[in-house]
Chain A
Amino acid sequence: MLASVWAKVLAVLVVLGAWQLVYLSGWKSSVVFPGPAEVGATLWRQLHDAVLWEAVSTTMGRAIIGFGLSLLIGTLLGGVLSRNKLLRSTFGSLIAGLQTMPAIAWFPFAIIFFGLNTSAILFVIVIGAAPSVALGVIAGTDHIPPLQLRAAKTMGLRRFALYRHVILPASLPTFVSGLRQGWAFAWRSLMAGELVVMVAGTASIGVLLENAQNMSDMPLAISVMIVVLLIGIVVDSVFGAADRQIRRYWGLVDGDLA
């Protein structure tokens, strides 16, 4: 495990090194392409600035609410569809199709409908992420080995008890994958939303990026991007750890010993 940490550190060092080399080569002016040192200094300053943290908390608040709504709606939708063959054949492909549509295309609709406020952003997050969650629920129930369902039925488990003791736990790994994908869509939609929907009087990551753009402040832009990247990595690794833990529990991880 230590080896993989060193490998990651090495990878980061390589990237920083390459960056420094391109900067030193003078290919672009240092205004447009600052070196890692300058960006690092800006990042450090930002981390000590309350504005950054306020922006992060606003953005994360929206992320949590938006993802939470997606989780709720997606799970309900997926649950209803997985139980009903008719609904599934009619709406299932619609939902899969919805997933292919870039959330950003929903913004004109959202802005006209909700106005330039947070609701528009939340709407687009949900429309981007809920389909993934719903499909995760449906796939979860689909992938239960039929023999396990037969065994459950011969034991006398029916309806609610069958769901509680067999179907829900059996769908968990696939469901968590659906959540992970849903989060990825939610985060993208949120970032796009914060740049497109200018909600008055709030500091958010989108606002910071917009400011950097308006002031042609490249070090600031890159610093904020690094913050966005780190947040994305941290949250995804939480999902990854949950996924691994579940799979280890189930014995789906290869080469696992007692």
Chain B
Amino acid sequence: MTRCAQPGEFVVTVPTSPRVPQPALKLVGVTKRYGKGPAAVAALDPIDLTVAEGEFVCLVGSSGCGKSTLLSIIAGLDAPSTGSIDSFGRRVALMFQEPALFPWLTAAANVELALKARAVPRGVRRERVARLLATVGLSEFADKRPHQLSGGMRQRVALARALAQDADVLLMDEPFGALDALTRDLLHEELERIVESRGLTVVFVTHNVREAVRLADRVILLGARPGRVAEEFYVPVSRPRQINTADVAELAAHVTARLHEEGNGHRGQ
């Protein structure tokens, strides 16, 4: 309760503004068109999206809704037809559905290459690679080549490699899509832990609604052909989460229903 100062009292005011999360990514009016003229195919209709620092955003949509295209554009591998992407000078790392490891290098060497690419000196590299492999739980497999590792292990190496890029923003394109459910659950836990401890901003693309709700702070539903933001859902479930709890399941069911409506509604057009 505020009151007026009494005679003889000092008034000290401490400015306490609420901490506003800074945007890590800002997309404004991003579109993507293939071809020219009347025969042009619009893959993405104007997309406006702002991702806050430290936020975990999942993009969900059926196949062909342009979510992978959008991710490529954010990563800078593809140029938008119109619109702008601002990553505010942040480094962006990208992870794909396939690990895309280099088969002639060991797990450690694969991770080290990301450091070599940024001219990190040799002594520092060795120690960082060891730490990164420990983070993803693969310390004993440092000398194994990709073909000697299981699918889940390869994706963990790919994750370590992405983290080695020292990016603040992690873009993930259905990275666990090719894995079995058990491995996926384990990787969800690890990802959640790593993202929280490093304060990473994540944009995660998936067609698996359950996975999206389990992982994200915010789930963005993309409509298809052309891709556009159809709806947004905040996920108020506290962390660490489990994939099979009632609140996750409920929200996932709701999002799935909206996803189907979105798909049906579009077909009706």
Interface positions of A (Cβ within 8 A of B): 145, 147-148, 150-151, 153-157, 161, 165-166, 169-170, 172, 249-252, 256, 258
Q: Which residue of B lies closest to A148 (CB)?
A: B100
CA A6 to CA B35, docked complex, whole Å: 63
Which residue of A145, A154, A157, A258 has the most chain B CB atoms within 10 A of its CB atom?
A154
Contact among B96, B118, B145, B147 for A156, CB-based, below 8 A = B118
Contact among B75, B102, B114, B116 for A170, CB-based, below 8 A = B102
Say how far A248's CB is from chain B's closest CB, in angstroms.
10
Which residues of chain A come closer than 8 Å to B4, judged between CB atoms? none
Chain B, 93-137, contact with A by CB distance < 8 Å: what is the 0/1 string? 110101011111000000001101110000000000000000000
CA A108 to CA B75, docked complex, whole Å: 59
Contact among B92, B101, B117 for A161, CB-based, below 8 A = B117
Q: Which residue of B lies closest to A162 (CB)?
A: B117
- With A150-B96, A154-B75, A156-B117 already in contact, the answer to whether A169 and B148 are too (CB < 8 A) is no
CA A145 to CA B102, docked complex, whole Å: 10
CA A249 to CA B104, docked complex, whole Å: 6
Which residues of chain A come closer than 8 Å to B118, judged between CB atoms? 156
Tally of contact residues, B, Cβ under 8 A: 24
Contact among A150, A155, A258 for B114, CB-based, below 8 A = A155
Can you give 25 A-B contacts (C-beta < 8 A)?
Answer: A147-B96, A147-B98, A147-B100, A148-B102, A150-B100, A151-B94, A151-B96, A153-B77, A154-B77, A154-B92, A155-B113, A155-B161, A156-B117, A156-B118, A156-B165, A157-B113, A170-B102, A172-B104, A250-B147, A251-B103, A251-B145, A251-B146, A251-B147, A251-B148, A252-B147
Which residues of chain A come closer than 8 Å to B165, judged between CB atoms? 154-156
Q: Are B147 and A256 in contact (CB under 8 A)?
A: yes
Which residue of B75, B98, B100 has the most chain A CB atoms within 10 A of its CB atom?
B100
Q: Are B100 and A145 in contact (CB under 8 A)?
A: yes
Interface positions of B (Cβ within 8 A of A): 75, 77, 92-94, 96, 98, 100-104, 113-114, 116-118, 144-148, 161, 165
Contact among B117, B144, B145, B147 for A155, CB-based, below 8 A = B117
CA A252 to CA B94, docked complex, whole Å: 26
Q: Are B96 and A169 in contact (CB under 8 A)?
A: no
Q: Which residue of B lies closest to A256 (CB)?
A: B147
Q: Which residue of A lies closest to B105 (CB)?
A: A169
Which residues of chain B come closer than 8 Å to A166, judged between CB atoms? 102
Which residues of chain A come closer than 8 Å to B94, judged between CB atoms? 150-151, 154
Which residues of chain A come closer than 8 Å to B101, judged between CB atoms? 151
Say how far B138's CB is from chain A's closest CB, in angstroms.
15
Say how far A55's CB is from chain B's closest CB, in angstroms.
41
Q: Are A151 and B100 in contact (CB under 8 A)?
A: yes
Say how far A174's CB is from chain B's closest CB, in angstroms.
13
CA A153 to CA B72, docked complex, whole Å: 12
* Complex A-B, nearest 6 residue pairs according to Cβ-Cβ distance, in ascending order: A251-B147, A151-B100, A147-B100, A250-B103, A154-B94, A156-B117
CA A150 to CA B78, docked complex, whole Å: 11
Which residues of chain B come closer than 8 Å to A153, judged between CB atoms? 77
Say how far B126's CB is from chain A's closest CB, in angstroms.
17
